[in-house]
Amino acid sequence: MSSLTKIPAGVQYFFDEEVRLRRSVEARAMRVFAGWSYDEIILPMFDYHDLFARGMGVEKAEATYRFVDRDGALLALRPELTSLVARTVATRFLKRARPVRLCYSGEVFRYDDPTERAAREFHQLGVEHIGEPDVVADVEVLLVAAEVLSALGLDDFRIALSHVDFFSGVAGFLGLDDAQRSELRALIDRRNSLALAEFLQKVAAHIEPERRNDFCRLTQIAGKEGAIERAREILLNEKSRAAVEHLGRIYGTLTELGLRDNFDIDLGDTGGQEYYTGLVFKVFVPELGVEIGSGGRYDNLIANFGQAEPAVGFSFALDGLVSAIGKRQSAHAPQTAESAQAISVNGDLVAAFAAARAQRAQQKQVKISAK
């Protein structure tokens, strides 16, 4: 086995055009973050395994590259960045005024089966907005995400909004146990309305069939403000109603800002990740069959590291953004390297390098030729 040509599955090398494109996408996104007063935070590549388990949950922390510190403590390469931010805010930023706005750009590492998912190492760009419980912060981060996409020329993006309390309100109202709850979640997630109807017939026989059918239709297809109105008519529990009202306020604001086409209400998104507590959203662009970014509110996460604080944030996959832009060549001139005039040394080292230094003093690109 030749170790010179072999590379571990799931790692990536970038060069030429792709590096320039990645760096430019990253810079443009970070400029937008800075424009909304998000300060960049640079986070460590690894930390205690326990920190990640405490943050995003044991299950996610299991999918990490782990190794042992000199004192025997278990370390892990970072599988995500939010836990690291949350811990920092809960400890080092304790005395700072709220809200705290932070943004980051960095690689994360997941110990996945590389035959199942292509990359085990990937780059995330994101923001966290901490200390404000309100719709204001929710709308703000959505607008930041929208501006990043526009700044990258991906104007026909679609962001699907949902709220975890819509689902948990219904599950609680129906008095579902854990197994039933995850079955309901899976049925809604697969958008299988027929199987969902059958399931509801079993667990919600006391609710009139018409209302049950409306619920199936509501979760099967994403919609606009109409989805909120229909939800209002169907829902019987306070928790879900409050969730839908909250979405309605966000959606109304976005509509008035002229962003209606870019946003959908998708009550079929049950917010799969456990740490989400409110708004959840997913970002799509036509070039890619998978989501390019996602985010939401996680008001309980920071409590794992200190006192409870509301927080909302999102992250984009840099690889997704880059490949979407790559497929849209026409929208962006290729990012070519500056072309430099070669300076021949021709036996006179001093003359050649003096000329080069003079050009560099004017910020010009130079290229030395030995001949």
- Contact residues toward other proteins (CB under 8 A) are 156, 158, 160, 189-195, 220-223, 264, 266, 282, 284-286, 288-291
Please, are residues 119 and 323 in contact by the beta-carbon 8 Å criterion?
no
* Cβ-based nearer residue to other proteins, 154 or 312: 154
* Cβ-based nearer residue to other proteins, 119 or 288: 288
DSSP 160: E
Closest approach, Cβ 268 to other proteins, in A, equals 9
Closest approach, Cβ 226 to other proteins, in A, equals 12
* Cβ-based nearer residue to other proteins, 78 or 282: 282
Reported in sequence order, the residue ranges of the chain that DSSP labels E, i.e. its strands, are 39-40, 46-48, 66-68, 74-77, 100-109, 121-130, 158-163, 263-265, 279-284, 293-297, 311-317, 341-344, 366-369
Cα separation, 86 vs 17, whole angstroms: 35
C-alpha distances in Å from residue 282, one per residue of 37, 76, 138, 296, 329: 23, 27, 14, 9, 24
Amino acid at 49: H
Closest approach, Cβ 157 to other proteins, in A, equals 9
Closest approach, Cβ 158 to other proteins, in A, equals 5
Other C-beta atoms closer than 10 Å to the C-beta of 176 total: 18
Closest approach, Cβ 216 to other proteins, in A, equals 11
Please, are residues 116 and 20 in contact by the beta-carbon 8 Å criterion?
no
User: What secondary structure does DSSP assign to 71-130, as a single string?
Assistant: TS-EEEE-S-SHHHHHHHHHHTTTTSPSPEEEEEEEEEE----TTTSS-SEEEEEEEEEE
* Cβ-based nearer residue to other proteins, 195 or 343: 195
* Cβ-based nearer residue to other proteins, 83 or 162: 162
Closest approach, Cβ 221 to other proteins, in A, equals 5
* Cβ-based nearer residue to other proteins, 237 or 323: 323
Closest approach, Cβ 291 to other proteins, in A, equals 7
Name residue, tokens 């909304």: 36
* Cβ-based nearer residue to other proteins, 20 or 185: 185
Residue 307: exposure state from Cβ atoms within 10 A (0-12, 13-18, ≥19): exposed
Cα separation, 111 vs 63, whole angstroms: 5
Cα separation, 153 vs 341, whole angstroms: 32
* Cβ-based nearer residue to other proteins, 144 or 222: 222
Closest approach, Cβ 190 to other proteins, in A, equals 4
Closest approach, Cβ 289 to other proteins, in A, equals 1
Q: Which of 119, 124, 122 is closest to 9 using CA atoms?
A: 119
Closest approach, Cβ 335 to other proteins, in A, equals 21
User: Which residues 6+ apart lie within 8 Å of 42 measured at CB?
Assistant: 104, 106
* Cβ-based nearer residue to other proteins, 181 or 224: 224
Helix (H) or strand (E) holding 228: helix 225-234
Cα separation, 107 vs 312, whole angstroms: 21
* Cβ-based nearer residue to other proteins, 133 or 326: 326
What phi, psi does 50 have (nearest 5°)? Answer: -60, -35
